[in-house]
Amino acid sequence: MRSRALFTTVLALAGATAPALALDPQNLAGGRLRLGGEASFAMAAQDHGFFNFTDYRDSNLRMTRIGGTAEFRVSPRLSLLGEVRTDNFHTVRPYALYARIRPWSKREIDVQVGRIPPVFGAFPRRGYGAANPLIGLPVAYQYLTSIRADALPASADDLVRMRGEGWLVRYPLGARAPDAGFPVVASLNWDTGAQVRIGSQPVQLSASVTQGTLGNPRFEDDNDGKQVAGRLAWNPVPGLILGASGARGEYLARSALAVLPAELAGRTYRQRAWGADAEYSRDYWLVRSELIWTAWDMPAVRAPLIASPLAALAVMVEGRYKVAPGAWLAARYDHLGFSEIVATAGPISWDAPVHRFEVVAGYAVHRHVALKAGWQRNRRDGGVVHRQDFAVGQVLLWF
C-alpha cells in the first residue's frame, strides 16, 4: 500500500508541477564539480514467479530507485566520478566510484580505476532510466539463473531441482543457506578493477581487468582470480553501431572450492562469454539487438555427473518509434535458453528457458520528467510459476 500511495503521489506531482522543477545540471566550483540525479518509481502486480527479481532481491517492476552522481575534475587529466543508489530504500550503496585518467591530452585514451563502468555488452553502457525506452530490463542482464559462487550442486539431479528457482537457490555443497543465483550479466552492480579505452570514432576499443565476473561483480576478491573483458565498437556510418564483446574470469568462491574433493578443488572454474550487438537509428526509428553466449565450468562430483560447461544463450531485439513530439512506443523480445544435461529422469536443460515480451508507451511531460505505461509477458519451462503477465507503470525524473 505504501508503494502504491507513493507512486500515485509522484505521478500527480510530475503532471502538475514538472515545468517548475529546477532540472538543469548543477555545476559548482567554477564548473569543476558536476552533480546529477535520477529517480524512478515503477509499479506492477506482485511477481509470484520472480521473473523480474534482481540480484538485490527486489522486482524491477516494483521498484523505487533513487540515485545521485558526481564528477569532480581535479585537473585536465584527472577526474573523480561516483554514483550512489538506493533501491526501495533498503540501503544506500555505491554503484560507481572511480578515477578517470587521461595520460595524453591530444590522444583518445583514458584509464579508469576503481568501481568502474562495465566493458562487456551494449545495454549496461546506456543506463537504466532515461536511456531505457521500456521499463523492464533485458533477460540476460537481470534474470536470475541457478548458478551460485558459494554453493554447488553435487549431481545433475541437484541442478535440475533448481530449474526456474534462481531467486532462491539451495545446494548441498558449500553455503547451505538459500540465496539468489546469478544473471548472465549483473547489470545493476559494477565490478572493481581497471579499464582502458582507446579511440572514439569510428572505432573504440575497451578492455578491463576486474575482481569478479560478469554474473558476479565484486568489490573484494573471493578466489584470487581475475576477469579479463573487452569490447570493440565500430560506427561505420551515421546511425549504425556494431559491437563485439568477450570476457573470461574465475567465478567460484574459495569457500565452495574448499568442500570439493582434492582432485576437483585444484582445477580452475571460469565463466566465459561472447557477445555481439548492433544499433541502428534513422528518422523516428531506433532498433537494437544483442546476442550473448556464456558458459560456466562446473565440477562433476557425483552421478549423474554434470556435463560441464553449463552454457546459456540470450537473444534480445528492441525497437522504439517516436509517434509525436515527446511521445514514443517501444517493444522488446527476449529469449534465454540453456544447454542440456542428463539427469536420472533423462536429458533436460539445466535451467528453465525463458521468453519475455514487453511493450511500452511513453510520454515526456517535461524535458526531464517522463511517464511510461506498458505490459510484459513472461513464459518459462520450469519453476513454481510457468507464466505471468504484468501491467506496469513508471514515473521517471532526472537532471
Phi, psi of 267 (to 5 degrees): -90, 170
pLDDT band at 127 (very low <50, low <70, confident <90, very high): low
- pLDDT reported for residue 194: 98
3-state SS, residue 61: coil
**Closest Cα to residue 249, out of 228, 277, 218?**
228
Which position has the grid cell 545495454?
A: 123
∠ Cα 375 64 377 (to 5°): 20
∠ Cα 142 143 147 (to 5°): 110
Q: How far apart are CA 149 and CA 147, in angstroms?
A: 7
Q: How far apart are CA 116 and CA 129, in angstroms?
A: 19
Checking if the pLDDT of 139 tops 80, the result is yes
pLDDT band at 374 (very low <50, low <70, confident <90, very high): very high
C-alpha cell of residue 91: 540501503
Range with lowest mean pLDDT among 2-6, 112-116, 191-195, 204-208: 2-6
Q: Is the pTM of this model over 0.85?
A: yes
C-alpha cell of residue 261: 574433493
Question: CATH number for the domain including 240?
Answer: 2.40.160.10
**CA 365 remoteness from chain centre:** 28
3-state SS, residue 102: coil
Total domains in the chain come to 1
- Buried (b) or exposed (e) across 362-381, using 16+ Cβ within 10 A? bebebebbbbbebebebbbb
- Buried (b) or exposed (e) across 101-116, using 16+ Cβ within 10 A? bbeeeeeeebebebbb
Q: How far apart are CA 151 and CA 158, in angstroms?
A: 11
- pLDDT reported for residue 25: 54
H or E stretch at 157: helix 156-161
Give the model confidence (pLDDT) of 222-279 as tens digits. Answer: 898 999 999 999 999 999 999 999 999 999 999 999 999 999 999 999 999 999 999 9
Q: How far is CA 308 from CA 3, 221, 299, 340, 345, in A?
A: 43, 24, 7, 10, 18
Handedness of CA 174, 178, 184, 190 (dihedral sign): negative
The residue range of the domain holding 49 is: 2-398
pLDDT band at 19 (very low <50, low <70, confident <90, very high): very low
Checking if the pLDDT of 172 tops 80, the result is yes
More confident residue, 172 or 57: 172
Checking if the pLDDT of 3 tops 50, the result is no
Checking if the pLDDT of 23 tops 50, the result is no
- pLDDT reported for residue 314: 98
ω into 118 cis (within 30 of 0): no
- pLDDT reported for residue 165: 95
C-beta pairs of 95-100 under 8 Å, 24+ apart in sequence: 95/67, 95/189, 95/190, 96/69, 96/190
Give the model confidence (pLDDT) of 96-119 as tens digits. Answer: 999 999 999 889 999 999 999 999
pLDDT band at 128 (very low <50, low <70, confident <90, very high): low
